[in-house]
Amino acid sequence: MIVITKETTVYTINGIDINEWLAMEKLPDGVKWVLDEDSELGKKIIDANFLIDPIFDDSGELIAVMPKAPPEPDLLEVRKAKNDEISISGKKVIERGFDYDLNGKTIHFSLTDQDQSNITGLYNDLLMVKQGLPSMAGIIQKEGDLLVPYHDDGGICKYFPSLDWIQITARMGAVRLYNTTKMNLMHRWVDTLTDIAEINSVNFDTAMPEKYENHLKYITSGGVQGQLMDGDSV
């Protein structure tokens, strides 16, 4: 059973507010219709998920319903939702981390926020020890080299030669730089789009227009490749 009621200026279908039914304004308060769910009108209401426009006869009798077109999405809200999605995807790509070759064996480093903090902290500690300060994180000196204690994904803690640790930290920085720059450029690109279908089709793997891709290449290659976009300086 579908119950349509009007109480003062509030309209409901089975308790769901339908104030957008302004056509009912001419009807007296307390008017109520009870429709069988199997009736023609009842089925139309259910099929339209209550997104309908009522049609009344001259006496105020509900005689038909027409599906109401869903409201047009707000462009700014669609852009914001897409940019939020891009940020989440980019963060996941960063967190996946990178592979590293250590003495002929491939190991992997994830890059969650905590992982990044750990790697950066050990790198800073390594720099301090190189300046003659005591280690705060267990770095030791052996056979003329400084050894950094850490673990790769799934591995136990072991010592990494200082050069390897510098390269691991650099790889982390490169992953962050590329994907963070790409996220920011994709946000900027999405904010220029006006077609909602096009915005919805974008994901983090979507190729950007050439000027954005060239800007990404320039930043991540240290200015060797690509080109900055107009209005941006070195």
Q: Which amino acid belongs to residue 86?
A: I
More confident residue, 163 or 62: 163
More confident residue, 233 or 222: 222
Q: Which residues pair with 6 in a beta bridge?
A: 11
The predicted-structure confidence for 56-90, as pLDDT tens digits, reads as follows 666 666 556 566 666 778 999 999 999 999 999 99
CB count within 10 Å of CB 116 equals 20
Across the range 123-132, mean pLDDT stands at 97
Q: Say what the pLDDT of residue 30 is.
A: 55
What stretch of H or E contains 15? Answer: none
Question: What is the number of H-type helices and E-type strands within the chain?
Answer: 6, 11
Q: Which residues contact 3 (CB under 8 A, 6 or more apart)?
A: 13, 14, 32, 33, 34, 35
Across the range 121-135, mean pLDDT stands at 96
Across the range 111-134, mean pLDDT stands at 97
Q: What is the pTM of this model?
A: 0.71
Q: Is the pLDDT of residue 16 over 90?
A: no
Q: Is the pLDDT of residue 23 over 80?
A: no
CB count within 10 Å of CB 160 equals 23
Q: Is 226 left (phi over 0), alpha (psi -120 to 50) or beta?
A: left
Q: Say what the pLDDT of residue 38 is.
A: 72
The predicted-structure confidence for 194-229, as pLDDT tens digits, reads as follows 999 999 999 999 999 999 999 999 999 998 998 998
Q: Say what the pLDDT of residue 40 is.
A: 66
Q: How many residues does the chain have?
A: 234
Across the range 30-39, mean pLDDT stands at 60
Helical spans, DSSP H, in the chain: 40-47, 75-96, 113-130, 162-190, 196-201, 210-220
What DSSP string runs through 85-115? HHHHHHHHHHHH-EEEEETTEEEEE---HHH
Across the range 128-144, mean pLDDT stands at 95
d(CA 22, CA 55): 11
Helical spans, DSSP H, in 191-226: 196-201, 210-220
Across the range 48-57, mean pLDDT stands at 62
Answer for the pair 232, 211: CB distance below 8 angstroms, yes or no: no
